[in-house]
Amino acid sequence: MKEPIGVFDSGIGGTSILKELVKLLPNENIIYLADSANAPYGQKNPEQIVALCKKNVSFLLKKGCKLIVVACNTATTNAISELRSSYSVPFVGIEPAIKPAALGTKTKAIGILATKGTLSSALFAKASDSYGQNTEIIEVIGKGLVEYIEAGDFDNPNLEILLKKYIQPMIHNHVDYLVLGCSHYPFLVPLLTKILPQNVKIIDSGAAVARQTRVVLKKKCIANTSNKVGEIMFYTNSKANTLAEIVKNHFKNYKIEAIKTYTS
């Protein structure tokens, strides 16, 4: 099936997942929607997050998407069950990679950096309950980080100060894994590597999401069997500059379009 896979996030963060999708499924056509005008989602309540997700899904369905990847932990943990019961299209979501961290830790302490929306969700509570029995999980809300990333303001010294403040309790508790529970945070890896002790492994869920997408495409018999390289279409409802910079550096065969508004 040559119809596109739809991918959405509250902004540019989901491009960290998109990179993994393109690597694993190079022949798929993909539409990426960055709802940057409404970022951050992380401080919003579940009802607001569900409403924004539905608006994004409607937009992608109007473009003919055959499967939707919710490339945002906050959106997945707060809205995916509602999305699955409201639409017949298959959804793949992203959740913090607690399992591999809890299974791999030697110090029996892991850190999770995520948004308030993700850390306070029922889905996250369930996952941390099942893997956190013998492991101390240090949860930290990364308030304010998404704003720097959306602005492409990676060299701002205040970003490093903020990040150090968030990581400090994890270092204090001797974590040996840091789970990035927000699809925006892989953009902070260069800074995090500077701040963290060398033994701390940083993990995110991007590759796992791509693998799960491949499984669902196969199971539903909707994979694109063409051997042509797929096209990627980006839509953003905010300034296209930062997205354009990222896209230029990481993707080929793409188009980018700034859209003003879209409704469900």
Would you name the residues annotated as active-site residues?
72, 182
Closest distance of CB 176 from ligand DGL, Å: 23
Q: Which of 70, 30, 68 is nearest to 235 (CA)?
A: 30
CB of 29 to ligand DGL, least distance (A): 23
53 within 8 A of 74, measured Cβ to Cβ: no
* Nearest residue to ligand DGL on Cβ basis: 42
Exposure on the CB side of residue 173, measured as CA atoms within 13 A:
20
Select 26 or 144, whichever has its Cβ closest to ligand DGL.
144
**Which residues sit at the interface with ligand DGL, rule CB under 6 A?**
9-10, 13, 39-42, 72-74, 115, 118, 146, 182-184
The number of C-alpha atoms within 13 Å of 171 and in the hemisphere containing its C-beta is: 13
Helix, strand, coil % (nearest 5) of the chain? 45, 15, 35
CA 165, chain centre distance (Å): 23
Nearest alpha-carbon partner for 62 in 93, 33, 38? 33
C-alpha to C-alpha distance for 232 and 118, rounded to whole angstroms: 28
* Closer Cβ to ligand DGL, 18 or 223, answer by number: 18
Q: CA–CA separation, 222 vs 64, rounded Å?
A: 13
Question: 40 vs 230, which CB is nearer to ligand DGL?
Answer: 40
Partners of 236 in the β-ladder? 34, 258
The least distance separating ligand DGL from the CB of residue 80, rounded to whole angstroms, comes to 12
| Beta carbon of residue 121, minimum distance to ligand DGL (angstroms, whole number) | 10
Instruction: Decide whether 95 or 176 has the Cβ nearer to ligand DGL.
Output: 95
Query: Of the two residues 10 and 29, which places its CB atom closer to ligand DGL in the complex?
Result: 10
CB 135 within 8 A of CB 106: no
Compute the half-sphere exposure of residue 97: CA atoms within 13 Å on the CB side of its CA: 20
Query: How near is the Cβ of 195 to ligand DGL at its closest, in Å?
Result: 20
